[in-house]
Amino acid sequence: MSTAHFDFSGQRVLVTGASSGIGREVAQQLRASGAEVYALGRDPSALQAMADQGCHVLRVDVADQAQLAALLAELPVMHGLVNCAGISILEAATDVSAAAFDQVMAVNVRASAMVAGSVAKAMISEGVKGSLVNVSSQASLVALDDHLSYCASKGAMDAMTRVQCGEWGKHGIRVNSVNPTVTLTPMAQMAWSEPSKRDPALAAIPLGRFAETAEVAAPILFLLSDAASMISGVSLPIDGGYTSR
């Protein structure tokens, strides 16, 4: 999918969860569109590959609050942010454990809030206008079996997006979230390869297929760009129509 119509030359953009999946695709497309990309993740070999493509790489466990705060304090002022770091721990609603719930919330919600807050504070201090995108999920909009912690975390992320939109809009900072369906990262391809699991999920998507990472990255770049200059506070499903039913 071409990104030639996006031009982020002269802009610094931080992408969390850039080691793999949607985050990696976003970082690569931003770099191809001229952005100075700061790619944050945990996988050293994946980050080295991003460095080889011209990204600044930052290795950190976003669940480690002290480590994350120290890293954020050293960053230059950004023009954009994509909060893509996330995890999922599947448990039946009757078996939700405190440890798993806290772990999911620490990564998906707390870290995203801390990163966005730090980035926005620096932007406001320097009078820099820009755009932040939180990568949520269709799981914030519908009930998914065995996903209580994950659904709760993504619902919190959408709520966080609206608050950030309201508080930072007066500074020229737009904040939106995107809500993808199953996206075919290498891990997801393996997880959804079993027909008994895959086929019912596909049947619930009007377009009849899962998303490719490029199909999620392109709307994110749109929301970061000036083409979306009047869009803020939106939670945008990228789900082939799944949540329309």
Active site residues: 150, 154
d(C-alpha 126, C-alpha 33), whole Å: 24
Q: What are phi and psi of 184, to 5 degrees?
A: -80, 70
d(C-alpha 135, C-alpha 84), whole Å: 5
Chain position carrying tokens 């079996």: 145
Hey, what are 187's tokens? Answer: 């891990």
Which neighbouring-strand residues pair with 56? 38
Hey, what are 132's tokens? Answer: 């932040």
Which neighbouring-strand residues pair with 242? none
Cα atoms in the 13 Å half-sphere on the side-chain side of 203? 6
Closest Cα to residue 158, out of 242, 211, 233? 233
Residue 240 burial class via C-beta count within 10 angstroms: exposed 0-12, middle 13-18, buried 19 and up: buried
